[in-house]
A and B are shown apart, each in its own frame.
Chain A
Amino acid sequence: MDNKVNYLLRLGDNAMVLSQRLCELCGKGPALEEDMALSNVSLDLLGQTRMWYTYASELEGAGRDEDKLAYLRDAQDYKNVLLVEQPNGNYAHTLVRQFFFDTWHYFLIGALTKCSDARIAEIAEKSLKEVTYHLRRSGDLIVRLGDGTDVSHQFTQTAVDELWMYSGEVFNYDAVDEAMVAEGVAPAASMLREQWLSHVSDILGEATLTMPPADAWMQKGGKQGRHSEHLGYLLAEMQFLQRAYPGSEW
């Protein structure tokens, strides 16, 4: 598979899987307003997914449109990072997962607006306002929960500790990423990681939470299609109808 197609699918899959996770929470948020916000973020990510998939399928030229890419690939063909497929857990888990992702996503999309590929730059430009809002919102909530009650602090700290090992995979560049860096498409991992660590440590500090060591061991494999046990279930639910009635129009 072409490096750029692979790279675009990774971008799309991250947004797709996280969007799906967030939509599971529809009607289950801790407050009506929070419920709306989660659905809003989910819809933003789904919109971004569609743009990445559409461009990927055009480049690939194999007739796999956005729907085929979303509904007819199994777990080993999905290239999202492991972080986004983690279960929603309690609200602290959901928020910490979002916060780790949003921070990376914001700096990545910002860098991609200056991408050598005009189409990628355009998609990034469209997404930038959304991811800026996502970042602001999740950071704000982490501070509220971390610096809230003793109980909310404890829950948030636990979620940070448990999800930390999934936070570093995005900076673990393989041959595909490196090829994209060389082409002037993707930003360097070191730059993103520095920005990520700086923002995360600021927010966690403000939230009176302890940041785990930056050089801790990180789980990886998602980008290469080696996923945790969670993704298969997510896809089974997401793809059921298209598998049962293939080729339908809706």
Chain B
Amino acid sequence: MSKEWPLWEVFIRSQHGLAHKHVGSLHAPDAEMAINNARDVYTRRNEGVSIWVVRAADIVASAPADKGPLFEPSNSKVYRHPTFFPMPEEVKNL
């Protein structure tokens, strides 16, 4: 075991949740202990949760500098938004 435990990111699906949400991170020597630790630190033993742990090193994140090109909504291009379709009365409330 190396002296420095690697960092793990923890994702938890709560009892009635539909998706795993990122809840935080922790240090652990391996995946099994990361799961154990996540259960102790983040779930407080709720029944029926599912835990995912991922080595932080395995996560690729988008660069903050790319924010503009990646996420700026194309507000100026109105033809990209489906706002011009006439809707039949019956499906108005769908």
Partners in one complex: yes
Which residues of A are at the interface with B, using a C-beta cutoff of 8 A?
31-34, 36-37, 40, 137, 140, 144, 148-149
**B32 and A33: CB pair below 8 A?**
no
**Given known contacts A40-B40, A140-B36, A33 and B28 CB-to-CB distance under 8 angstroms:** yes
Chain A contacts for B36, CB-based, 8 A: 37, 137, 140
| Chain A residues, CB < 8 A from B41 | 33, 36
Q: How large is the interface on B (under 10, 10 to 19, 20 to 34, 35 or more residues)?
A: 10 to 19
Residues of B within 8 A of A37 (CB): 36-37, 40
Q: Is B27 an interface residue (CB 8 A)?
A: yes
What B residues does A40 contact at CB under 8 A? 40
Do B27 and A32 have beta carbons less than 8 Å apart? yes
- Considering only residues 22-64 of chain B, those with a C-beta below 8 Å from chain A are 26-29, 32-33, 36-37, 40-41
Q: Does B1 contact A (CB under 8 A)?
A: yes
Looking at the assembled complex, report how far the CB atom of A138 sits from the nearest CB atom of chain B, in whole angstroms.
11
In the bound assembly, the distance between CA atoms of A40 and B42 in angstroms comes to: 12
Q: How far is the CB of A144 from chain B (nearest CB, A)?
A: 8
Q: Pick the contact of B1: A32, A36, A140, A148 (CB < 8 A).
A: A148
Chain B contact residues, CB within 8 Å of chain A:
1, 5, 26-29, 32-33, 36-37, 40-41
Known: A36-B41, A37-B40, A144-B1. 17 other contacts (CB 8 A): A31-B5, A32-B26, A33-B26, A33-B27, A33-B28, A33-B40, A33-B41, A36-B40, A37-B36, A37-B37, A40-B40, A137-B36, A140-B32, A140-B33, A144-B29, A144-B33, A149-B1
How far apart are B84's CB and chain A's nearest CB, in angstroms?
A: 55
Q: How far is the CA of A31 from the CA of B3 in the complex (A)?
A: 12
Nearest residue, chain A, Cβ from B39: A133
Min CB gap B90→A, angstroms: 52
CA distance A134 to B36 in the complex (A): 11
Alpha-carbon distance between A36 and B33 when the two chains are bound, in angstroms:
13
